[in-house]
Amino acid sequence: MATETHGAVEGAAGMPQLELAHFPNQIFWLLVTLVVIYFVLSKVALPRISSVLAERSGTIMNDISAAEELKLKAQDAENAYNKALAEAKAEAQRISGEANAAIQAELDVALAKADAEIAAKAAESEAAIADIRDNAADSVKIVAKDTAKELVAAFGGKADAKTLTAAINARLKG
Amino acid sequence: MSDQAKQSGGTGKVIFFAILALIVIAIFLVPTGHGGLAFHPMDQFEIKALFGGDIHWYTVTNATLWMGLTVLGVVLLLVVGSSGRAIVPSKGQSIAELTYGFVYKMLEDVGGKDAVRYFPYVMTLFCFIAFSNVLGLLPVSFTPTTHIAVTGVLALLVFVFVTVLGFVKNGAAFLELFWVKSAPLALRPVLAIIELISYFVRPVSHSIRLAGNMMAGHAVIKVFATFAAIKLIAPVSIAAIAAMYGLEILVAFIQAYVFTILTCVYLKDALHPAH
């Protein structure tokens, strides 16, 4: 304002800061600056940044909850899988048990049949063997009787059939 | 709060004595006949009309220019920087968001939940001071915050705002701020006087702390720069300028932070005056 104070104050203190004449200028421009910054901040910058920050935290929260949900789903899937696996295992065991039982039953039947056949064959064979043995014994008796008759005849004797048979039977038994 | 005040007062003192010591050394070192060294550390603070003529309240001065650049810086950082509105922010947007978060958290932590309403005002102060301080570190620049007229108005705005707010919100109960209930009854009147004085000293310390710190740093750099004219001292002087410059970058942000956090403290006092 007053130019004459300019030199006096500056000269005295040597500090432009104490130059009172320049105060109104600085204060005026400072107030203009502050008002401009205030309006720029409160109308544009701050609402925008705050909405971006809110949006970001919202997105992050959503993502976290989505991840939580997916994790639960994965756990459910795993549980279902384990359950299905256990069921399948039980089923497989049951089926294999059944199959074993069926095979065993068939096997038993077959074995019994085979045993029966074998027994039948053995009996048949034994019968045949017994037959042969009996025949053989009779044949020996006949041959022995004949031979004995011939021998007795050769010695000049006359053997009656009855005595011969008795003798041979006695010999054969002994 | 008083700790911070003491600390910044401390750095101010150290810087002041550093300047004094340097000037004394200069006087002893430089032969008077040479006249080689001319100390004009305060010239950088002069207000000049950009287009000549007398300086009236409306004249466009270097102060106007640098305040305008401050506005430009704020717009670039907070408006242009955040214009992407990206969920995954760019570098500029990150800085804008960090600045926002820093001041917002400070206000919320210090001033309380209901102080958040005055966030644009506090943010305006922080942005203006921070940008003005940092831009002032550019060579041949002018720093509005080195002027007591500027910081005084900033501090008075806070003081008046906070005082009016205190009475509007609390009525006469705001005076409880000066009536320390936790002290013995006999001491309370004495404390009330001390509290009252300290309350009115607030704008003074609030403004001089900022202007003093900024001015001292700039002046010291200028003094060192003057020493660079002596060949023998030049390397030391240049190293010292670099060191001071680093310190000044720190101080630029710290002073903006201190001014803002004190504003938050005063806001808290206005909203919750009872001790």
Running DSSP on this structure, what letter comes out for residue B30? S
Q: Which two tokens stand for residue A155?
A: 């010695």
* CA–CA min distance A64, chain B (Å): 15
Put simply, whether B100 touches A (Cβ < 8 Å) is yes
Orientation of helix B119-135 relative to helix A23-39, angle to 10°: 120
Q: Which two tokens stand for residue A36?
A: 């401009």
- Asked if A56 and A63 count as a contact pair (C-beta separation under 8 A), the reply is no
> What mean pLDDT comes out for the span A61-72?
96
* CA–CA min distance A51, chain B (Å): 9
CB within 8 Å: A17 and B149: yes
- Band the pLDDT of A56: cuts 50, 70, 90: very high
Closest residue on chain A to B215 (Cα): A17
Orientation of helix B119-135 relative to helix B62-74, angle to 10°: 120
- Band the pLDDT of A10: cuts 50, 70, 90: very low
Residue type, B108: E
Rounded Cα distance between A51 and B71, Å, is 23
CB within 8 Å: B55 and A26: no
- Band the pLDDT of A6: cuts 50, 70, 90: very low
The pLDDT of residue A172 is above 80 = no
* Cβ neighbours for B111, distance < 8 A, ≥ 6 positions apart: B118, B264, B265, B267, B268, B271
B46 falls within a domain: no
Rounded Cα distance between B150 and A22, Å, is 11
A21 vs B contacts (CB less than 8 Å):
55
* CA–CA min distance A75, chain B (Å): 30
* Cβ neighbours for B126, distance < 8 A, ≥ 6 positions apart: B99, B103, B256, B257, B259, B260
Phi, psi of B49 (to 5 degrees): -75, 130
> What mean pLDDT comes out for the span A21-46?
94
B92 falls within a domain: yes
* Cβ neighbours for A25, distance < 8 A, ≥ 6 positions apart: B47, B55, B56, B57, B58, B59, B61, B63, B64
Mean pLDDT, all residues of chain A: 87
pLDDT, one tens digit per residue, over B96-121 is 999 999 999 999 999 999 999 999 99
The domain total for chain B is: 1
Rounded Cα distance between B267 and B275, Å, is 14
- Asked if A21 and B55 count as a contact pair (C-beta separation under 8 A), the reply is yes
Running DSSP on this structure, what letter comes out for residue B49? B
Instruction: Kindly list the distances between the CA atom of residue B182 and the CA atoms of B18, B112, B128, B178, B275, in Å, as whole numbers in the listed order.
Output: 42, 22, 38, 12, 8
pLDDT (0 to 100) of residue B30: 53
Share of chain B above pLDDT 70, in %: 91
**For residues B234 and B2, which has the higher predicted lDDT (pLDDT)?**
B234
Put simply, whether B39 touches A (Cβ < 8 Å) is no
Put simply, whether B189 touches A (Cβ < 8 Å) is no
B53 falls within a domain: no
Phi, psi of B61 (to 5 degrees): -120, 180
B217 falls within a domain: yes
ipTM higher than threshold 0.85: no
CB within 8 Å: B45 and A15: yes
The residue among B59, B214, B144, B46 whose CA lies nearest residue A10 is B46
Q: Which two tokens stand for residue B192?
A: 């009330």
Is the CA virtual torsion B79, B83, B85, B91 positive or negative?
A: negative
B26 falls within a domain: no
Burial tier of A109 (Cβ tally within 10 Å: 0-12, 13-18, 19+): exposed
Count CA atoms closer than 13 A to B199's CA, side-chain side: 21
pLDDT, one tens digit per residue, over B18-56 is 777 776 666 555 544 445 677 788 888 988 899 888 888
CB within 8 Å: A53 and B100: yes
> What mean pLDDT comes out for the span A99-124?
95
Task: Out of B68, B123, B147, name the one closest to residue A41 (CB).
Answer: B123
Which run of H or E residues covers position A59?
Answer: helix A46-154
- Band the pLDDT of A8: cuts 50, 70, 90: very low
pLDDT (0 to 100) of residue B7: 53
pLDDT (0 to 100) of residue B227: 87
Put simply, whether B147 touches A (Cβ < 8 Å) is yes
B259 falls within a domain: yes
Mean pLDDT, all residues of chain B: 88
The pLDDT of residue B258 is above 60 = yes
Domain residues for B251?
Answer: 2-8+60-271
CB within 8 Å: A48 and B85: yes
The pLDDT of residue B198 is above 70 = yes
Put simply, whether B89 touches A (Cβ < 8 Å) is yes
pLDDT (0 to 100) of residue A3: 40
pLDDT (0 to 100) of residue B102: 96
**For residues B44 and B122, which has the higher predicted lDDT (pLDDT)?**
B122
A44 vs B contacts (CB less than 8 Å):
79
- Band the pLDDT of B1: cuts 50, 70, 90: very low
- Asked if B206 and B233 count as a contact pair (C-beta separation under 8 A), the reply is no
User: Lowest mean pLDDT: which of A53-62, A112-121, A133-142, B102-111?
Assistant: A133-142
Closest residue on chain B to A58 (Cα): B87
The residue among B170, B133, B82 whose CA lies nearest residue B249 is B133
B244 falls within a domain: yes
**For residues B229 and B71, which has the higher predicted lDDT (pLDDT)?**
B71
> What mean pLDDT comes out for the span B187-213?
93
The residue among B219, B166, B174, B229 whose CA lies nearest residue B12 is B219
Rounded Cα distance between B257 and A100, Å, is 86
Task: Out of A16, A25, A46, name the one closest to residue B45 (CB).
Answer: A16
- pTM of structure: 0.71
Closest residue on chain A to B121 (Cα): A38
B79 falls within a domain: yes
pLDDT (0 to 100) of residue B99: 95
Rounded Cα distance between B162 and B262, Å, is 11
Neighbours of B14 (CB within 10 A): 11
- Band the pLDDT of B8: cuts 50, 70, 90: low
CB pairs under 8 A between A and B: 129
Rounded Cα distance between B117 and B157, Å, is 17
